Structure 1
Amino acid sequence: METTFEQLEVAITGKIGVITLNNPSKHHALSTALIDEMCAALEEMLYRQVRVVILRAPAGSKVFSAGHDVRELPTNGRDPLTYDDPVRRVIRMIELFPAPVIAMVEGTVWGGACELVMSCDLIVAGDDSTFAVTPAKLGMPYNISGVQNFLNTGGMPLCKEMLFTAQPMGVQRLVDQGIVSHAVPRAELESLTRRMAEQIANNSPLVISLLKEELRLLSASHNLGPETFERVQAMRRLVYDSKDYQEGIKAFFEKRAPQFQGE
C-alpha cells in the first residue's frame, strides 16, 4: 500500500510512523485536502501495523497549524462543523486508531488544530509553544463534540478561559493542567519524543491498544440527553444564521478586527 502525499511528509521507520504537516504557505491550515491526506496516512500506518504515530510540523516551524481553513467555511448560514466535517473525521480516526498518537508541537497552535492536538494520546511541546482556541474571534460557534473534547481534556476553568478570551495561552499552563506531558527547549523536543515513541513501541501492542480503548470509553461515559443536545444544536443554528457570523468571516478576509453587534 503506497500513497502519494502533497501536503504531508509520511515516513515509517520500524514500528514508528511520522506524519509531518507540509503546507507552509497556508501555515498548515486544516483544509479538506490536507485532512484527506492525513486520514490516508493513518490508513497506511494501520496497514503497516505501526505501534506509535508522531504528528508534527516541520522542524523550526513558527506555526504548528493555523487551524480550520477559514476559506472553506460557508457564508450561507449552513453549519459546517457537522459529523462529517473533515476535522471531526480525522479526530475520530486518531481517537479510534489502535496505536498511540503523539503530537510533537513546535510554534503556535490555532483554533481547530488545538482540538486536533488535544485528541492525540500524548502531547510533547517546545517550551515556547502557545495554544489559542479562536471561534469567538470569528463569530463562529464551536460544535458540541469539540467543546466536550476541550472540557474532557482541560477541565472547566481552563476551557472557559481559552474559549472566552480566544487568546494564545503559553504551554506551561497546559503542562500545569496535565494536558501537555512535557514542555522542553526545541533542541530537546525531537529526541524526547522519539525516546517516548520507542518506549511505547517496545511494549505489548495488544495491551497498549486495549488500554487506549478502555481509556476512550471511560472518558466518554457521560452522555448528553437528546433534549439537551437538540437545544444546543438549535442555539448553534441561530449563530450561523446571524449577522455576526457573516461579519466574522468578512473581517477575516479583509484582515481587520470584526465589529460584532450581537445580532
Structure 2
Amino acid sequence: MPLVTKSLHGKTGILTFSNPAQRNCLSQEMVEALVGGFDDFEEDRVYAVILRAEPGVKVWSAGHNIKELPDGRRDPLNYYDSLEVLLRRVQDFPYPVIAMVEGTVWGGACDLCISCDMIVCAESSTFAITPAKLGLPYNASGVVHFLNVLGPKIAKEMFFTAKPISAQQAHNVSMVNHVIPAPELESFTLALADSITVNAPLAIRAIKHQFRLLLKGSPLAAETFEEIQGLRRRVYDSEDYHEGVLSFKEKRPPNFTGK
C-alpha cells in the first residue's frame, strides 16, 4: 500500500498520509513520495494543494523517523536531509499549500505544518516541537520558521518545554488560520481551496513568491551562521544527543547529563 495517496478536487491536489501504523512518520520513503506528489501536481498545473492524513487519525504525523537519525558526530538536520528537502519543496511550490490537520502533530511535522501557507485544524488537534526531548540541535532555518510564524516568546516556550499546544492556543497566536469541528474539517478546507483556485493563478503565484522573498528578511553575517553551526555541532557531538536517540529506540526515558 502506498505511503501517500494522491487525488484531485477540481484544480486542488490532495496528498494524504497513508501510514497510520507508523504514525505517518516522515521517513525518507514517505518524504520522497510527498515530494514526488508535489512534482506531479506542479506539472499538472494544480493551483492549490491540501496536505492531510486519513480521516479520524489520532496522529497527523509523528515527525522525523527517529530511527533514521544518525547516532552522532554528524549533523542530523543538514541542508540535504530528506525532511529539509520536503520543507523547501512545500515553500517553493508555486501555489498555496494548506495543511489540513486532525490529530496530534509532533516534531518535524510541526515544522512541515508551519511551512505550509495556511493551516486548518480540528478542535482536538495539538502541536508540539520536540527536539529538546531527544537532545537534538534544531537547525537555523527551522528556528526561523517558528520565529516568523509565532514570534520569539511562543517559539521559545514551544522549543524549551516540548509541550503540545492546543488548537485554540495555536489559533490565538496566529499559528493556524481556522479551528473547525472535525466533521466539518474536510468540507471547510476544500471550500477554502476552491476560493483560491477560482482566482488568477499567475497573480497567486507571484504573490506567494513575494511572501517567500520578503519573509527571508535581512541577511545575517557569515560569522553568525558559523556560530550557529558551531553551537549545533557541540550538541550533536554530545553524549546527550546519543542518549536521546538511543532512549527513543529503546522506548525508555532519556537520562540526560548535560555532557
Specify if TM > 0.5: yes
- 2:87 aligned with 1:91, yes or no? yes
Match of 2:174 in 1: 178
* Pairing of 1:21-36 with structure 2 (within 5 A): 21-36=17-32
1:9 to 5, 11, 36: 5
Name the counterpart of 2:67: 71
- Measured in 1, the distance between the counterparts of 2:2 and 2:42 equals 20
1:115-194 → structure 2 map (5 Å cutoff): 115-194=111-190
Q: Which residue of 1 aligns with 2:34?
A: 38
1:111 to 89, 104, 107: 107
2:44 matched to 1:48? yes
Instruction: Give 1:29 shift.
Output: 0.3
Contact 2:171 2:177 in 1 (8 A): yes
Deviation, 1:76, is 3.3
SS of 2:13 mapped into structure 1: strand
- Moved beyond 3 Å, runs of 4+: none
Q: 2:97 maps to which residue?
A: 101
Deviations 1:143-164 (A, max 9, x none): 1101111111111111001000
Provide the residue aligned with 2:202 in structure 1.
Answer: 206
Query: 1:26 and 1:13 mapped to 2: Cα distance?
Result: 27
Q: What is the count of residue pairs matched by the alignment? A: 259
Q: Distance in 2 between matches of 1:218 and 1:99?
A: 16
Counterpart residue identity of residue 93, structure 1: R
Of 225, 244, 250, the match for 1:254? 250
Shifted more, 102-111 versus 76-85: the winner is 76-85
Q: Residue 187 of structure 2 aligns to which amino acid in structure 1?
A: S
Distance 1:14 1:194 in 2: 10
CA contact (8 A) 2:72 2:238 kept: no
The alpha carbon displacement at 1:223 in A equals 2.1
> SS at the partner of 2:133?
helix
Distance 2:184 2:107 in 1: 26
Deviations, residues 127-184 of structure 1 (Å, cap 9, x unaligned): 1100010000001110110111111111111100100000111111111111100011
Letter in 2 for 1:218: L
Whether the aligned pair in 1 keeps the contact of 2:97 and 2:117 (CA below 8 Å) is yes
Offset from partner CA, 1:20-51 (integer Å, 9 cap, x none): 01111110000000000100000000010001
1:199 and 1:76 map into 2 onto residues whose CA distance is 47
Note the C-alpha offset of 1:250.
1.1
Question: How many Å separate the matches in 2 of 1:78 and 1:87?
Answer: 16
Gaps of 5+ in 1: none
Q: Gaps spanning 5+ residues in structure 2: where?
A: none
1:188, 1:11 → 2: CA distance?
19
Q: TM-score, normalised by structure 2?
A: 0.98
